[in-house]
Amino acid sequence: METTVISFLLQLLNIVFLDIILGGDNAIVIGLAARKLPATMQKKAIIYGMSGAVVLRIIATILVVWLLNIPWLLLVGGVLLIGIAYKLLAENEDEHNDVKSGQTLWAAVRTIIIADAAMGIDNVIAIAGASQQNIILVIIGLLISVPIIVWGSTLFITLITRYPWIIYLGSAVLAYTASNMITEEKKLEPFFNEHLVLKIIFIAVIIIGVLSAGYYKKHLPQRKNKQAQD
């Protein structure tokens, strides 16, 4: 019983951590969407917008959890999540300058919900994979992490800026979740269960590969600029 509770709590922490790591962009979008509203309406726009976004995300994640039971889709989800883990390290900043701010409360709310739905695909796939098809974990994890994203976004962005290793940790957790999803694909699971060493090696290679590729992609332009200056 204790092991089950501990396992549940660890999975829940993993979901909350992943959603917060991937939710930084969403927090920026929330601020941009509500920036032109009067201060008294900004809080309402954020609360209403995120409430709608959370409902949509829970529904979408439950749908993905159900879809992952279909043969080979766990493999597909794992491959997609590897790409997400890489993008987390490699993507450029300042990609949200085109987000329009709402002039009215409901315009801002609509923008927040639509933008979050469009940007939330990464989160949905990651959470669905980390939950191991446990709907309760999905709902509790999202209900915990979303308020943290909204109210603690400024602090979290500051922490990431000051401690860049947090992003690498998040990418490593995503890569682990992705590789673990692939090994748990029903068509592949018997093979990996029979060859545990290969399973460990496979997971390690994916994690190291994602971190190395992400690091190289992020720092390559800096090296080129430095060489050009020299």
Q: pLDDT of 50-77, one tens digit each?
A: 788 788 888 888 888 888 888 888 898 8
What confidence score (pLDDT) does residue 87 get? 84
Residue scoring higher pLDDT (66 or 26): 66
Calculate mean pLDDT across residues 174-189: 91
Residue scoring higher pLDDT (40 or 89): 89
Question: What type of residue sits at position 94?
Answer: D
pLDDT of residue 93 exceeding 70, the answer is no
pTM for the predicted model, two decimal places: 0.73
What confidence score (pLDDT) does residue 157 get? 57
What confidence score (pLDDT) does residue 191 get? 95
Residue scoring higher pLDDT (92 or 91): 91
Kind plus residue range of the DSSP H or E element containing 161:
helix 135-162
> Lowest mean pLDDT: which of 18-22, 51-55, 67-71, 119-123?
119-123
Question: 1: pLDDT confidence band, cut at 50, 70 and 90?
Answer: very low
Asked if 72 contacts 185 with a C-beta cutoff of 8 angstroms, the reply is yes
CA distance 175 to 172: 5
Calculate mean pLDDT across residues 88-103: 59
CA distance 114 to 56: 10
Asked if 84 contacts 122 with a C-beta cutoff of 8 angstroms, the reply is yes
What confidence score (pLDDT) does residue 141 get? 85
